[in-house]
């Protein structure tokens, strides 16, 4: 059902009026993890000033180490909801277990399924059974065929509001945190009718590569860019090395906006 052969037209995912997949290129920004109201609000305010509407932030953080910050959980979703209401923005947040999907519906606008859960089939089925857009990230070592099959789990349950996200894959190269598979974008767009975003933060893991990677993503036809922004990255509880501060974010947007297609 995700195949372009089954449906010729692009699927447009409507997130509070932002029509992802309509030909415009969107920016999704926000902190790696929700840490406090003030922290998320600072980013939301900056994003809003730039005319952006899509805010990300993790409340349930699937961390590699069990001793790292695991996120604020439901408390974090409540902070996101308050900010979405105050700033008239849409929020995207990762959900890691099927039983949290129902409660998340009240707080967030897009359910993110993270790279580590791309083949959590019970989670995919649960996300497919609700009427809420899903942002599905490519698994760390997933082939594009496996990625499309994961999306198929969601759509086969009746939810076609799916946004795919290339976030880099694991290779032997250590210069970047992951290897951004830039050609995944046109391949996914040819083979499926779903919108495709590129996460420049987790793919590169390097602040100095965010702008060039985002330029490549826009040029190759991504439907949007995801990037992490934190008011004070030095003290961030996760992904401290690669989150942009507000000033860097403003620079990022001013360099990229002229290159982004507007429908
Ligand atoms: C995230 O976007 O917050 C995240 C954890 O990314 P990924 O699942 O791609 O590692
Ligand atoms: Mn992160």
Tokens of 10: 């692009």
CA of 18 from ligand 2 middle (Å) equals: 23
Distance of CA 19 to the CA centre of its chain: 15
CA of 202 from ligand 2 middle (Å) equals: 6
pLDDT of 89 = 98
Contacts of 69 (CB under 8 A, 6+ apart): 33, 61, 63, 237, 238
Domain count, the chain: 1
Residue 21, in any domain of the structure: yes
The CA-to-CA distance between both ends of the chain, in Å, stands at 26
Domain containing residue 204:
13-259
Residue 137, in any domain of the structure: yes
Q: How do residues 99-140 score in pLDDT, each as one tens digit? A: 999 999 999 999 999 999 999 999 999 999 999 999 999 999
Residue position matching structure tokens 């090395």:
241
Structure pTM? 0.98
- Say which CATH number the domain at 63 has: 3.20.20.70
Which of 112, 137, 203, when mutated, tests ligand 1's pocket best, judged by the most ligand atoms within 8 Å of its CB? 137
CA of 239 from ligand 2 middle (Å) equals: 5
Residue position matching structure tokens 């989670």:
123
Residue 152 clears pLDDT 90, i.e. is over it: yes
- Give 263's pLDDT tier (boundaries 50, 70, 90): confident
| Four-residue CA torsion sign, 59, 65, 66, 68 | negative
Whether the CB-CB separation of 260 and 221 falls below 8 Å is answered with: no
Residue 7, in any domain of the structure: no
The Cα-based distances of 31 to 58, 167, 258, 260 in angstroms read: 7, 16, 24, 22
Residue 1, in any domain of the structure: no
Q: How do residues 43-98 score in pLDDT, each as one tens digit? A: 999 999 999 999 999 999 999 999 999 999 999 999 999 999 999 999 999 999 99
- ipTM (interface predicted TM): 0.99
pLDDT of 80 = 98
Q: Residue 83 and residue 177: Cα distance in Å, rounded?
A: 31
Residue 105, in any domain of the structure: yes
Residue 139, in any domain of the structure: yes
Whether the CB-CB separation of 201 and 210 falls below 8 Å is answered with: yes
The Cα-based distances of 85 to 66, 108, 110 in angstroms read: 32, 11, 15
- Give 164's pLDDT tier (boundaries 50, 70, 90): very high
Ligand 1 atom nearest the C-alpha of 58 is 3
Which of 34, 58, 113, when mutated, tests ligand 1's pocket best, judged by the most ligand atoms within 8 Å of its CB? 58
Ligand 1 binding pocket (C-beta < 6 A) is 32, 58, 94, 114-116, 137, 167, 199, 202
Residue 5, in any domain of the structure: no
Closest CA to ligand 1's atom 10: 115
CA of 5 from ligand 2 middle (Å) equals: 34
CA of 11 from ligand 2 middle (Å) equals: 27
Residue 4, in any domain of the structure: no
CA of 205 from ligand 2 middle (Å) equals: 9
3-state secondary structure of 52: coil
Which of 28, 31, 72, 115, when mutated, tests ligand 1's pocket best, judged by the most ligand atoms within 8 Å of its CB? 115
Burial class (CB in 10 A: 0-12, 13-18, 19+), 208: exposed
Contacts of 49 (CB under 8 A, 6+ apart): none
Q: How do residues 168-203 score in pLDDT, each as one tens digit? A: 999 999 999 999 999 999 999 999 999 999 999 999
Q: Minimal CA–CA distance to 18: which of 51, 57, 50, 64?
A: 51
Neighbours of ion ligand 2 (CB under 5 A): 32, 239
Q: How do residues 4-19 score in pLDDT, each as one tens digit? A: 999 999 999 999 999 9
């Amino acid at each position: 059902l995700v195949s372009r052969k089954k449906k010729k037209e692009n699927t447009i995912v409507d997130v509070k009026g932002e029509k992802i997949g309509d030909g415009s290129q969107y920016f999704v920004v926000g902190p790696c993890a929700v840490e406090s109201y003030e922290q998320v609000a600072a980013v939301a305010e900056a994003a809003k000033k730039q005319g952006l509407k899509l805010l990300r932030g993790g409340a349930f953080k699937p961390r590699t180490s069990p001793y790292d910050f695991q996120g604020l959980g439901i408390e974090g979703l409540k902070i996101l909801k308050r900010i979405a209401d105050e700033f008239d923005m849409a929020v995207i947040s990762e959900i890691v277990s099927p039983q949290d999907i129902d409660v998340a519906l009240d707080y967030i606008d897009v359910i993110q399924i993270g790279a580590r859960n791309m083949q959590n089939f019970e989670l995919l089925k649960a996300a497919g059974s609700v009427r809420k857009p899903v942002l599905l990230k490519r698994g760390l070592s997933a082939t594009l065929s496996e990625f499309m099959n994961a999306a198929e789990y969601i759509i086969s349950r009746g939810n076609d509001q799916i946004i795919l996200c290339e976030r880099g894959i694991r290779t032997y190269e250590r210069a970047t945190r992951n290897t951004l598979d830039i050609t995944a974008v046109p391949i996914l767009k040819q083979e499926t009718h779903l919108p495709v975003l590129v996460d420049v933060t987790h793919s590169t893991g390097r602040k100095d590569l965010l702008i060039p990677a985002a330029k490549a993503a826009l040029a190759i036809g991504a439907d949007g860019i995801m990037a992490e922004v934190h008011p004070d990255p030095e003290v961030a509880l996760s992904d401290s090395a690669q989150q942009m501060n507000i000033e860097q974010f403003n620079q990022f947007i001013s360099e990229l906006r002229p290159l982004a297609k507007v429908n």
